[in-house]
Structure 1
Amino acid sequence: MYDPNRIDAQLPRGVTDFLPDIADKIGHIQGRIQRVFESWGFRRIMTPMLEFEDVLALGMGEGLRSRTFRFDDRQSGRMLAVPPDITPQVARIVATRMRGLPFPHRLSYLGRVLRHAEIQSGRSREILQAGVELIGLESPEADAEMIAMAIEALQSLGFEDFKLDIGQVEFFRGIMDAAALDEETTWRIKSAIGKKDVSAIGGILNGLQLSDTIKEAIASLPRLFGDRRILAEAERVAVHERSRKALSNIEQVLEILDLYGLSQYLTIDLGEIRGLDYHTGITFEGFVAGFGEAVCSGGRYDQLMERYGCPAPATGFAFNILSLMSALERQPDVQSSVVRDFLLFNAEENREEVLKVAKCLREMGYSAVRDIIRRDYASSLEYARQAGIRRMLVVGGGYSAPDELYIVSAADGSGFPLKKADLFNCTGRFDFDRFKEKLNG
């Protein structure tokens, strides 16, 4: 016999439902970021949730390929994949659907991706991304634009104490070119540098027949982190022309960011080599004080478009929306969600006036929620608090004069009267806060 109380409603590990409070916060964050993207001239693109696996794999390194969800397509007989990252999808679209249109392409996106995660890690397999791709420009100014946009988006969300760590993967590659090591040894060094494990690096270097100059260059990589003064140290150990060109590139990008007035938000990290297989130049990650994970990451990837038959330089970055939300929750003084404006409490039998009030508020740009369920004043006010609604607006019922409405704060229950004529005759957006201050004054 069917028993609704015995339904197994568990979700697969690593995914979650987003209830209204959380969904509101996600929508708030996405909206703020999207407005920044639009203000810089980026147009939104929407990518599919399924791709043919072999096509998607062209744009992914081995790390992403190994974390991709795959399954058979009964219609085509080909393998399908749920994208673990949106950038390869954008590259495919530009190369195949936008071929012939003039460069550069400024494209933005909001979307979900899925990635396999280790069961023990506790990490989500579902990632919400908001990002941009700037395709067709290889100048340092394009790299600087990405960094400036990321900073502006973080500022728009209310963050003040944050840093963007800037790296350049060609610096590491130049040192490895000079060392001319075999693939396994290079991988061991990369792994140790990625973990900032100085002792492990020293142990590997002790067993190698390399010059002291090259050993010093490799050993210095985990320490090349800080403000711009570390570039002088990096220049001293740049044992290959490839590394010196990388440093020149960083200097050019920093000079442009100086013009933006954003230098205080920047640090240099030449030992950051995550994404090395994917990126080709400047890389960066954004970190918020008090939160240990990067909230955004990106960089230059000039070789990706060629894999889809359309060679073009490109750069971009993406925010991890759930990481941003977690970081915002650690800063209670920063607004982190959408707040609804009014709950309309109709104490009259007639609905005509309350519907007129709701229409007026919405035309002004306020959100107005009709409390259609009949409940008493106190219960309605409690509902407003729990639903995240700022104020309750009372129509009739003796709470104010017949020609007035009564406005109540959901936070503390304090209220004040408002003449109906003042609201209905307002030609713009009625400022309730200023009206209350004037009334109290």
Structure 2
Amino acid sequence: MTKIPPGLLPEGLSDRLPPEAEAAAQLVRHVLDTVSSHGYQRVMPPLAEFEQNLVSRLQSARAQDLLRVVDPLSQRMMALRPDMTAQVGRIAATRLANAARPLRLCYGGPVIKLRANQLRPEREMMQVGAELIGTDSVAAAVEIVTVAIEALQVAGLSGITVDFTLPDLIDTLAAQEFPLTADEIPAVRAALDAKDAGALVGLGSGPATYLPLIEATGPFHAAMDKLDALDAVGALKSRTEALRAIAKPISWDITLTLDPTERHGFEYQTWFGFSLFAEGFVGEVGRGGTYMITHPDGQEEPAIGFSLYPDPLIDAGFAREESMRLFLPLGHDASKAAELRREGWRTVAALSASDNGAALGCTHVLQGQRPVPLKG
């Protein structure tokens, strides 16, 4: 067997070194502190669960899509979590089933995927988010979107865009204004998701009536006007009114867009979904929406939440804070050093006469009772 080099890691996995590791911890802390300030309480589910239970809640993943291992104790198959939202749903439906609703929970931790994609080659990533369980009302949606935006702003992002979608749009229209057969609905969804007008026309006269939805995409207010014009009999009135109510309190410096037929990643959302983008980053930095949690007795409970994936932000240097590192020479005043740590200094104590403060990344040295900048 070929010997694996000691520094080699599996594809898609990597070490985070200083200062990125500290930045990652700070960014997660900033987001969770922001969410917690709105009343969300933190939960910490385990990294692995029994495969059967995890798959039953991961509606968008199959067992073969998970990184699995046999538990040597129970001899049952376990799986590493690819997403924390499903675990929070399990906690809400079991251990916190009797907690008062609406139930506000937040979380943060690593998730791992079996395979990566070209846009994001990492298989392990950080996920931070919040779930509001027990309601999927407009008021709940307003709160979740507002908190998600605030969390990104606290993390230091600007040029934020929120892209709204209506995951159940095709089902709603197919049942009323623009009838489709059960066989036509998946094909129409796929064509609209791809914005493929030719494919839509090729499906027949019924599916072709959905062509205007491709144009009802873009800046929020203009797209909403096009959606209203399409909805002659008012089948979408409750949806459009809800979208406008969600958008109304959002600050003017946030860009709002609408892609009413976007389905990728929203297959199991119910009536509302949204994606979060930020200037300078390719792809989403987060997403959220409404969904259903299934209880052990089969009863379903509405919920809404969002998840942020901060690794691209960390790679770009967000949350890196210049720390004041103070070198403490041999024989320093320990009480003064403790006082300075309480003031925010990070101290590095010399363990031998040969220790060099500058080489150890210190910016200052303690001389007597005061920090003095180290010369470069």
What TM-score results when the alignment is normalised by the length of structure 2?
0.88
Instruction: Within 5 Å, give how 1:309-320 maps onto structure 2.
Output: 309-320=298-309
Are 1:136 and 1:313, in contact at CA under 8 Å, matched by a contact in 2? yes
Deviations 1:254-303 (A, max 9, x none): 23x25xx45734222213222333100221111111211100111111x2
Task: Give, as a single letter, the amino acid of the residue that structure 2 aligns with 1:209.
Answer: S
Equivalent of 1:249 in 220, 230, 242: 242
Matched, 1:267 2:246: no
Q: 1:408 Cα deviation (Å)?
A: 0.6
Partner of 1:416: none
Partner of 1:192: 191
Higher-Rg structure is: 1
Q: What is the distance in 2 between the residues matched to 1:90 and 1:241? A: 36
Structure 2 unmatched ranges of 5 or more: none
Q: What is the distance in 2 between the residues matched to 1:395 and 1:11? A: 43
Seen in structure 2, the aligned counterparts of structure 1 residues 20 and 240 have a Cα distance that, compared at 3 Å, is: farther
Are 2:216 and 2:226, in contact at CA under 8 Å, matched by a contact in 1? no
Are 2:12 and 2:122, in contact at CA under 8 Å, matched by a contact in 1? yes
Seen in structure 2, the aligned counterparts of structure 1 residues 21 and 205 have a Cα distance that, compared at 3 Å, is: same
Matched, 1:221 2:214: yes
Q: What is the distance in 1 between the residues matched to 2:171 and 2:63? A: 23
Q: 1:145 Cα deviation (Å)?
A: 0.8
Are 2:141 and 2:304, in contact at CA under 8 Å, matched by a contact in 1? yes
Are 2:162 and 2:254, in contact at CA under 8 Å, matched by a contact in 1? no
Q: What is the distance in 2 between the residues matched to 1:26 and 1:136? A: 31
Higher RCO (CA-CA < 8 Å; seq separation 6+) = 2
Deviates more, 1:132-141 or 1:266-275: 266-275
Partner of 2:172: 174
Instruction: Within 5 Å, give how 1:10-409 maps onto structure 2.
Output: 10-63=8-61, 65-117=63-115, 123-177=121-175, 178-183=178-183, 185-196=184-195, 198=196, 201-210=197-206, 215-221=208-214, 223-238=216-231, 242-255=235-248, 257-258=249-250, 261=251, 264-301=254-291, 303-306=292-295, 309-326=298-315, 328-329=316-317, 336-346=319-329, 351-353=331-333, 355-375=334-354, 379-384=356-361, 389=362, 391-395=363-367, 405-408=370-373
What TM-score results when the alignment is normalised by the length of structure 1?
0.76
Seen in structure 2, the aligned counterparts of structure 1 residues 380 and 163 have a Cα distance that, compared at 3 Å, is: same
Q: 1:7 Cα deviation (Å)?
A: 4.1
Q: What is the distance in 2 between the residues matched to 1:282 and 1:49? A: 29
Q: Across the two proteins, how many residue pairs are aligned to each other?
A: 372
Deviations 1:223-265 (A, max 9, x none): 422121211110122367553332222122223x25xx45734
Structure 1 unmatched ranges of 5 or more: 330-334, 397-403, 414-441
Q: What is the distance in 2 between the residues matched to 1:192 and 1:374? A: 71
Q: What is the distance in 2 between the residues matched to 1:79 and 1:408? A: 56
1 or 2, which has the higher helix percentage? 1
The secondary structure found in structure 2 opposite 1:80 is strand
Seen in structure 2, the aligned counterparts of structure 1 residues 263 and 359 have a Cα distance that, compared at 3 Å, is: closer
Q: What is the distance in 1 between the residues matched to 2:287 and 2:365? A: 44
The secondary structure found in structure 1 opposite 2:304 is strand
Deviates more, 1:362-371 or 1:23-32: 362-371
Task: Give, as a single letter, the amino acid of the residue that structure 2 aligns with 1:294.
Answer: E
Aligned-CA RMSD value: 2.7
Structure 1 runs of 4+ with >6 Å offset: 119-122
Are 2:160 and 2:254, in contact at CA under 8 Å, matched by a contact in 1? no
Seen in structure 2, the aligned counterparts of structure 1 residues 40 and 121 have a Cα distance that, compared at 3 Å, is: closer
The secondary structure found in structure 1 opposite 2:254 is helix
Q: What is the distance in 2 between the residues matched to 1:84 and 1:21? A: 26
